[in-house]
Protein backbone atom coordinates (compact mmCIF):
# COMPACT_ATOMS: atom_id res chain seq x y z
CA UNK A 1 0.00 0.00 0.00
CA UNK A 2 1.45 3.34 -0.96
CA UNK A 3 1.37 6.57 1.02
CA UNK A 4 -1.46 8.09 -1.01
CA UNK A 5 -3.86 5.22 -0.29
CA UNK A 6 -2.91 5.14 3.36
CA UNK A 7 -3.59 8.87 3.71
CA UNK A 8 -6.88 8.50 1.84
CA UNK A 9 -8.02 5.72 4.15
CA UNK A 10 -6.94 7.52 7.33
CA UNK A 11 -8.53 10.78 6.17
CA UNK A 12 -11.78 9.10 5.15
CA UNK A 13 -12.02 7.23 8.46
CA UNK A 14 -11.35 10.38 10.49
CA UNK A 15 -13.89 12.35 8.45
CA UNK A 16 -16.46 9.59 8.85
CA UNK A 17 -15.88 9.35 12.62
CA UNK A 18 -16.24 13.12 13.01
CA UNK A 19 -19.44 13.33 10.96
CA UNK A 20 -21.03 10.32 12.68
CA UNK A 21 -20.15 11.79 16.08
CA UNK A 22 -21.88 15.02 15.11
CA UNK A 23 -25.02 13.14 14.03
CA UNK A 24 -25.36 10.75 17.00
CA UNK A 25 -27.87 12.02 19.59
CA UNK A 26 -26.56 13.48 22.84
CA UNK A 27 -28.38 12.87 26.12
CA UNK A 28 -27.90 13.35 29.85
CA UNK A 29 -29.32 11.21 32.64
CA UNK A 30 -32.35 12.68 34.30
CA UNK A 31 -34.78 11.75 37.06
CA UNK A 32 -37.04 9.72 34.74
CA UNK A 33 -34.43 8.35 32.34
CA UNK A 34 -32.36 10.00 29.67
CA UNK A 35 -33.07 13.56 28.55
CA UNK A 36 -32.40 14.18 24.87
CA UNK A 37 -30.30 17.21 23.99
CA UNK A 38 -30.25 17.00 20.20
CA UNK A 39 -27.04 16.20 18.34
CA UNK A 40 -23.77 17.95 17.61
CA UNK A 41 -25.25 19.84 14.68
CA UNK A 42 -28.64 20.93 16.06
CA UNK A 43 -29.34 21.28 19.77
CA UNK A 44 -32.82 20.57 21.14
CA UNK A 45 -33.02 21.69 24.75
CA UNK A 46 -36.83 21.43 25.09
CA UNK A 47 -36.74 18.21 27.14
CA UNK A 48 -34.08 19.65 29.42
CA UNK A 49 -36.08 22.84 29.95
CA UNK A 50 -39.20 20.78 30.72
CA UNK A 51 -37.26 18.73 33.28
CA UNK A 52 -35.93 21.95 34.83
CA UNK A 53 -39.42 23.45 35.10
CA UNK A 54 -40.79 20.29 36.79
CA UNK A 55 -38.00 20.26 39.36
CA UNK A 56 -39.16 21.23 42.86
CA UNK A 57 -35.79 22.79 43.58
CA UNK A 58 -36.80 25.77 41.43
CA UNK A 59 -39.04 27.03 44.23
CA UNK A 60 -37.25 29.77 46.23
CA UNK A 61 -37.39 28.16 49.69
CA UNK A 62 -36.87 24.56 48.60
CA UNK A 63 -33.94 25.56 46.40
CA UNK A 64 -31.76 25.88 49.49
CA UNK A 65 -32.76 22.47 50.88
CA UNK A 66 -33.02 20.21 47.83
CA UNK A 67 -29.97 19.80 45.58
CA UNK A 68 -30.68 21.34 42.22
CA UNK A 69 -29.55 19.95 38.86
CA UNK A 70 -29.69 22.26 35.90
CA UNK A 71 -30.44 19.88 33.02
CA UNK A 72 -30.27 22.64 30.42
CA UNK A 73 -26.72 23.50 31.48
CA UNK A 74 -25.79 19.81 31.52
CA UNK A 75 -27.14 19.41 27.97
CA UNK A 76 -25.24 22.46 26.78
CA UNK A 77 -22.08 21.11 28.38
CA UNK A 78 -22.56 17.67 26.79
CA UNK A 79 -23.18 19.23 23.37
CA UNK A 80 -20.15 21.47 23.74
CA UNK A 81 -18.00 18.52 24.72
CA UNK A 82 -19.19 16.52 21.71
CA UNK A 83 -18.54 19.42 19.35
CA UNK A 84 -15.12 20.16 20.85
CA UNK A 85 -13.67 16.86 19.67
CA UNK A 86 -15.85 15.81 16.73
CA UNK A 87 -15.49 18.98 14.65
CA UNK A 88 -11.65 18.95 14.79
CA UNK A 89 -11.61 15.22 13.95
CA UNK A 90 -13.82 15.84 10.90
CA UNK A 91 -11.73 18.83 9.76
CA UNK A 92 -8.46 16.93 10.19
CA UNK A 93 -9.95 14.03 8.25
CA UNK A 94 -11.00 16.36 5.47
CA UNK A 95 -7.57 18.00 5.33
CA UNK A 96 -5.76 14.64 5.28
CA UNK A 97 -8.14 13.31 2.63
CA UNK A 98 -7.63 16.40 0.46
CA UNK A 99 -3.87 16.30 1.06
CA UNK A 100 -3.70 12.70 -0.07
CA UNK A 101 -4.45 13.83 -3.62
CA UNK A 102 -1.24 15.86 -3.65
CA UNK A 103 1.09 13.18 -2.26
CA UNK A 104 3.02 10.79 -4.45
CA UNK A 105 1.11 11.47 -7.63
CA UNK A 106 4.16 11.95 -9.87
CA UNK A 107 6.05 8.72 -9.14
CA UNK A 108 4.73 6.76 -12.12
CA UNK A 109 5.40 9.33 -14.86
CA UNK A 110 8.29 9.07 -17.24
CA UNK A 111 10.66 12.02 -17.70
CA UNK A 112 10.85 13.59 -21.21
pLDDT tens for residues 12-34? 999 999 999 999 999 999 878 89
Per the CB < 8 A criterion, the answer to whether 58 and 68 are in contact is yes
Q: Count up the domains in the chain and report the number.
A: 1
Percent of residues in the chain assigned helix, strand, coil, to nearest 5: 60, 10, 30
Within-domain flag for 108: no
pTM of the model: 0.77
Q: What would the pLDDT profile of 64-94 be if each residue is shown by its tens digit?
A: 565 677 889 999 999 999 999 999 999 999 9
Within-domain flag for 27: yes
Within-domain flag for 51: yes
d(CA 112, CA 109): 9
Within-domain flag for 109: no
Within-domain flag for 112: no
Within-domain flag for 111: no
94: domain range?
3-102
Please provide the size of the chain in residues.
Answer: 112
Amino acid sequence: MNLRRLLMIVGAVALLVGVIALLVPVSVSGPDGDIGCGNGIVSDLSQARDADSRNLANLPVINQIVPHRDFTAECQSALSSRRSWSIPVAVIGLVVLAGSFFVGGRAGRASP
